[in-house]
């Protein structure tokens, strides 16, 4: 079936196949979404009424914090509790192929044949612009497939990763002793996004000190939230059940307080804004190219005959005429 000439009935059948849990259809749609194919937007719109059931969990933290090992163990715990799990793993890109190089399917190979687990690597391709949409779209597909828990694991802690994790209902920030974590806590809005702190590699020196710093630094936050701190040793499967319990407790609190709906509203509003921004950016690029071709705008800017504000006003006038 060529997606270039796909009819509405074909799209509906495709979407229904995803909802029914067809892995091949879901994987194909994820590829379309990641490649920014126009067809993906139509299919995702058809899937949208079937979403809203999965609890989305963001996992972020410094590189080397053991996030992937934690995720691997979280999958095992949730599967033991009878829940299905999806993982969106954001990886650095290969400079040659543009593909993800950390190989989540290798490090999580023991789950590869489990029909209750779906793992998708998402390469950053050298930049995180637009990554939020790709990760969000893939999480939407997993939600529509009926997966109970969807994990979004980011490359590290930074503003782009913070933006991605804001798509989650519950965010776990993974910290480890000995990496200057007390400084990182105050950076990149970590206190703002953290719902749970996982002190991983808790058998290493400095773990108790880090936990104490995490406890004390919470008083510096503006909302004075209590953020649970869970000690884990992912390589020894220690503290995993406690971490899952903390996530499930937080999910229950969100539901009972009504905050889950508030977070969903913010998440979906952000998704709308991002789509509008992408469309406006594309239109601006096209308009600027046209204006430059007709009036040599770049030459005007370089020669200082026109200021950026003047050119911006001309672009706005063109947009208002459309």
Determine how many CB atoms are found less than 10 A away from the CB of residue 269.
10
pLDDT for the residue 244: 98
Report how far residue 90's alpha carbon sits from residue 298's, in angstroms, rounded to the nearest whole number.
Answer: 37
pLDDT for the residue 184: 57
What the chain holds in terms of domains, given with CATH numbers, is 1-50 (no CATH), 52-257 (3.40.50.300), 272-321 (no CATH)
Determine how many CB atoms are found less than 10 A away from the CB of residue 315.
16
Distances (CA, A) of 130 to 39, 55, 127, 182, 308: 17, 22, 8, 30, 25
Q: Are 168 and 152 in contact (CB under 8 A)?
A: yes
How much helix, strand and coil, in percent to the nearest 5, is found in the chain? 55, 15, 30
pLDDT for the residue 161: 61
| Helix, strand or coil, per DSSP, at residue 60 | strand
pLDDT for the residue 25: 95
Strand-pairing partners, residue 170, are 57
Q: Are 123 and 99 in contact (CB under 8 A)?
A: yes
pLDDT for the residue 159: 56
Distances (CA, A) of 11 to 1, 14, 52, 284: 11, 5, 21, 30
The pair of three-digit structure tokens given for residue 92, joined into one six-digit string:
């650095």
> What pTM, to 2 d.p., does this model score?
0.84
Report how far residue 217's alpha carbon sits from residue 210's, in angstroms, rounded to the nearest whole number.
Answer: 10
Tens-level pLDDT at each residue, the chain (322 residues)? 445 557 778 999 999 999 999 999 999 999 999 888 989 999 999 999 999 999 999 998 877 888 889 999 999 999 999 999 999 988 654 333 334 444 444 556 678 789 999 999 887 654 444 456 788 899 999 999 999 999 998 876 555 566 767 789 999 999 898 876 555 555 546 777 889 999 999 999 999 988 988 888 776 655 667 899 999 999 999 999 999 999 999 999 999 999 999 999 988 998 888 888 888 888 888 889 988 898 899 999 999 999 999 999 988 888 887 6
């Amino acid at each position: 079936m060529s997606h270039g000439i796909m009819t509405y009935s074909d799209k509906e059948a495709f979407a229904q196949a995803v909802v029914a849990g067809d892995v091949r259809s879901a994987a194909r749609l994820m590829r379309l979404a990641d490649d920014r194919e126009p067809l993906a937007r139509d299919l995702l719109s058809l899937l949208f009424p079937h979403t809203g059931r999965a609890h989305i969990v963001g996992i972020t933290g410094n590189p080397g914090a053991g996030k992937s090992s934690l995720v691997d163990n979280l999958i095992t715990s949730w599967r033991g509790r009878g829940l299905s799990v999806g993982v969106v793993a954001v990886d650095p890109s290969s400079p040659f192929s543009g593909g993800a190089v950390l190989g989540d399917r290798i490090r999580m190979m023991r789950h590869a044949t489990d029909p209750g687990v779906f793992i998708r690597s998402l390469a950053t391709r050298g930049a995180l612009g637009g990554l939020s949409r790709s990760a969000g779209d893939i999480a939407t597909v997993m939600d529509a497939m009926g997966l109970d828990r969807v994990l979004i694991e980011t490359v590290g802690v930074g503003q782009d990763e913070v933006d991605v994790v804001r798509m989650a209902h519950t965010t776990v920030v993974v910290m480890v002793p000995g990496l200057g974590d007390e400084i990182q806590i105050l950076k990149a809005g970590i206190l703002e996004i953290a719902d749970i702190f996982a002190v991983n590699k808790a058998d290493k020196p400095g773990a108790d000190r880090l936990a104490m710093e995490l406890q004390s630094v919470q008083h510096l936050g503006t909302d004075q939230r209590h953020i649970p701190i869970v000690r884990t040793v992912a390589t020894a499967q220690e503290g995993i059940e406690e971490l899952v319990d903390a996530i499930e407790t937080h999910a229950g609190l969100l539901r009972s307080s009504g905050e889950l709906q508030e977070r969903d509203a913010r998440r979906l509003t952000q998704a709308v804004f991002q789509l509008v921004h992408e469309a406006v950016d594309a239109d601006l690029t096209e308009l600027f190219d046209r204006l430059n071709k007709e009036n040599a705008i770049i030459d005007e800017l370089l020669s200082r005959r026109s200021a950026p504000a003047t050119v911006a006003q001309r672009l706005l006038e063109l947009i208002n005429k459309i």
